[in-house]
Amino acid sequence: MKPKSLKVHLFFLDGKSTAIIIKMSKCHQNYFTSFYSYNFEQLLIFAALTLKLLLIMKTRFFTILTIAAMTLSLSSCKDKAKEAKTTEAEAATEMTEVSTKYKVNTEASSIKWIGHKPTGSHNGTISLESGIATVNNGTLESGTFLIDMSSINVLDIPADDEGNAKLAGHLKSSDFFDVEKYPAAAFEVTGFETVEGKTMLSGNLKLKDVTNNITIPVTVKENGDTLSITSETFTINRSKWNVKYGSKSFFDDLGDKFINDDIELQIDVTATKA
C-alpha cells in the first residue's frame, strides 16, 4: 500500500506522559496508530519501529509491482511473434533423383491463424488442398503446397453463432482474400538452411495475385514413412499481398477502427512417402 501522506504527531499530555500518533492517509481514508508512555525513550523506539515497518511495506509493494510489470513485459515480448523476412519471389528448388518424395496428408495438416484489432482478436484454421515435398539426406529439398482458401475457419466464435459465418464470409470476400476469384494460395520452397542454430525455410507465398518470398523457422522430422514440417509462430504483413480492408497502410482515416496488418500463422504439415 502506497500512502499519499504520512504524518507523525508528538504530544505532551500532562507534563509527565507523552503520546505519539502516526497518521497515514490513502484514498481519502485515514489510518492511525498511537502509543502512550511515560518513558520518552520507549516512545522514540516505538516511532522508529513503526516507521521502519511502514517503509518495509512500501518497499515490498513496489518490489511486487515492479516484478509484476517486468513479468507482464517479458510475457508480452515472448508472445509477440516475429514477422517473416519478406523479399521478392525467387526461383524454386528442384528435386533430385536420389531424394525421397512425400505426399501431404491434408487431414492431418493445418495452418493456424490469428488476426488482431484494437478491441481484440480472432483465430481459426485453414486447410491444405494438396502438397508434395522431397527430402534428401535429412534436408528438405523441394516442395509445393496448395492452400484451400475456401476452408478459412473461425474458432473463437461458436459455430452456431451467426457471427461465426459472418466473419468467415467476410474473410473470404473481396474485402480480404477474394476466395471466389482466388480459391487457392500456394507455397513453393526456394531454400532450406541453418542460421544460428535454427532451421530456416524459404519459399514463395502466393496470396491473391501477389507473390512474395518469406523465410520462417521450422522443425523438419522424418520418422519411418512420415515427414513432419512444423513452423514456429510467425507473422506476415497482409498489406504486402494487397489485402487492404481496415489497413492503416492504405487508409488514413480509420481512427481506432483499423485491423492490424500482421497476421499470425503457425504451420503443421504431415506427409507420407509417396
The structure's pTM equals 0.72
CB burial readout 234-268, b (16+ within 10 A) else e:
bbbbbebbebebbbeeeeeeeeeebbbbbbbbbbe
Of 46-60, 104-118, 180-194, minimum mean pLDDT range: 46-60
Same domain, 65 and 119: no
Residues linked to residue 140 through DSSP beta bridges, in sequence order: 135
**Residue 3 pLDDT more than 50?**
no
- For the segment 152-198, what is each residue's pLDDT rounded down to a tens digit? 999 999 999 999 999 999 999 999 999 999 999 999 999 999 999 99
Boundary residue ending a domain (30, 57, 79): 79
What CATH code is carried by the domain that includes residue 235? 2.40.128.110
Residues 6+ positions from 236 with CB-CB distance below 8 Å? 83, 84, 86, 205, 214, 262, 263, 265
Same domain, 115 and 219: yes
- For the segment 63-88, what is each residue's pLDDT rounded down to a tens digit? 554 554 454 444 444 467 899 999 99
Same domain, 166 and 214: yes
Query: Which run of H or of E encompasses 44?
Result: helix 40-79
Q: Which residue has the cell 500482421?
A: 262
Comparing CA positions, the residue from 86, 92, 84, 83 lying closest to residue 192 is 92
At 206, list the grid cell: 502466393
| 51 HSE (CA, 13 A, CB side) | 14
Boundary residue ending a domain (27, 53, 79): 79
Q: What is the percentage of the chain residues whose pLDDT exceeds 90?
A: 68
User: What pLDDT score was predicted for residue 98?
Assistant: 86
Same domain, 70 and 110: no
Same domain, 58 and 103: no
Same domain, 113 and 160: yes
**Residue 30 pLDDT more than 60?**
no
At 215, list the grid cell: 523465410
Confidence at 2, pLDDT banded by 50, 70, 90 = very low
- For the segment 256-272, what is each residue's pLDDT rounded down to a tens digit? 999 999 999 999 999 99
Of 12-26, 84-98, 166-180, 244-258, minimum mean pLDDT range: 12-26
Boundary residue ending a domain (79, 106, 129): 79
Same domain, 73 and 98: no
Same domain, 262 and 148: yes
- Report d(CA 143, CA 195) in Å as an integer: 20
Same domain, 174 and 245: yes
Counting the structural domains of the chain, the total is 2
Tell me the mean pLDDT in the region 109-124: 96
Same domain, 20 and 142: no
Structural domain boundaries, residue 37: 5-79
- Report d(CA 160, CA 166) in Å as an integer: 11
Same domain, 161 and 232: yes
Same domain, 214 and 236: yes
